[in-house]
Amino acid sequence: MTDSENRVSADAAVSQSANTGAAHELGAPARNGAVDLLRIVFSILVILFHSANVLALVGVSPRIVPSGYLAVEFFLIVSGWLLTAKAAKNKNPNVWNADLSMLRGKLLHLFPFIFVATVFSNIFSFIGDYFGSSIFLVDFVGKRLVYTVSELLGLQMLGFDGFWATGTVWFISALLASSFIIYPFLIKRREAFTKYFAPIAALFIYGYISHEWQTLADPGTWETFVYRGLVRAFAGICVGCCAYELTSWLNKSSVRRSTVFLLESCGSVAVILFCIFYRGSAESATGAFFVPPILFLTVSALFSEKSVLSRAIKGKAFTFLGQFSLSTYLNHFYVDKFIKVMAGYFTSDAQMLTVYFLLIVVLSVLNYALGSLLAKKMTVRLMVILCCVIVLLGCAALIAAKIIVA
């Protein structure tokens, strides 16, 4: 979702964090065009994965990208790499202040885009309720607005789920929570964390998920005291922390550039093909656990000084695509739900698909434009004010509902 973190989306990339300062420490380009390109590619895979409901309405089944949800692992691992690089450059001796500063920076960067996407998603939800139901429930609208605050502040994965307006901010919520937990350890004991704790934690967590849940999907499923998405994010970021150390080793070692090229190119293609063709069942997709180790090698190579792709793929166009991936990620899931509700109003399948994909493109462009404008003026005070406005609008709707009923 600062120049030191190469903007994500998206979690994604969610994760659209900037990688400028972090990359320089290891001698990589100021902007990693290869990573930016993969951000938009993986965002598209997530969109196609979530398009199953709409495509099923026109007879396209099963999913055309059955494992597109695994694209999120790329954003998590890249975010872990960048978080480690940021910790390596940290000059603040006060760990608590440094951790809060990191969290504040991420929130201020991501909030404008989440806010715009949340406004859009609520509008389309209201329209869908109005035309898709015989009664327009004003009190339901009010409750949605009030509960939307948990999404705006990334609180969903902590249990404050409320109304999942966009349907995709769970990733950013899990990213923020995991980063806040991990960052202090990276500041105080980076090498011990990245070389010992992170790999062990990742192995045990992925092993547990594979044995007990058998899938990396269903991030919104509650498990005793935590959402699956938060556990998955913690493991992914740990893998990214380990990838940072491998990148450092690659830079110092005698490994040839051709070998690094094979790692980054073959790894990228392998994960993309895996997302498109792997058809694990909804209940069991244990084959998906091959993706994190492949991405571990791929991301390590992409950020290396010996990376061929990062040197060949660069320029403003790729920078824009990397930044734009966040907007595409945030503005597709609620469109899928909207089209499904409004399916009866379309005269043909072609018309429905055209409107569906056109809405995603238009809303993503608007989100990017408006979010970028809002980001220039974003402060903690403004963020709090906007959240209060949403809550007040929700309260007003609830009061109006009581008056109408009376």
- The pLDDT tens digits of the residues spanning 86-119 come to 999 988 889 999 999 999 999 999 999 999 999 9
Write down the mean pLDDT value for the chain. 87
Q: Is 128 helix (H, G, I), strand (E, B) or coil?
A: helix
Q: What are phi and psi of 14, to 5 degrees?
A: -75, 115
Strands 226-227 and 222-223 turn out to be: antiparallel
Are 44 and 321 a contacting pair, CB within 8 Å? no
- The pLDDT tens digits of the residues spanning 134-146 come to 445 665 677 778 7
Side-chain half-sphere exposure of 359, counting CA atoms within 13 A: 23
Omega cis (within 30) before 112: no
Query: Is the pLDDT at 299 greater than 60, yes or no?
Result: yes
Confidence category of residue 406, pLDDT binned at 50, 70, 90: low
**If you average pLDDT over each of 167-171, 215-219, 258-262, which comes out highest?**
258-262
Query: Is the pLDDT at 121 greater than 60, yes or no?
Result: yes
- pLDDT of 163 reads 62
Omega cis (within 30) before 219: no
- 31 residue type, one letter: R
Residue 128 is encoded by which pair of tokens? 């869908």
Query: Is the pLDDT at 59 greater than 80, yes or no?
Result: no
Confidence category of residue 154, pLDDT binned at 50, 70, 90: confident
Q: Is 319 helix (H, G, I), strand (E, B) or coil?
A: helix
- The pLDDT tens digits of the residues spanning 355-365 come to 999 999 999 99
The owner of tokens 């590619």 is 41
214 backbone φψ class: left, alpha, beta (φ>0; ψ -120 to 50): left
- The pLDDT tens digits of the residues spanning 352-397 come to 889 999 999 999 999 999 999 999 999 999 999 999 998 888 888 7
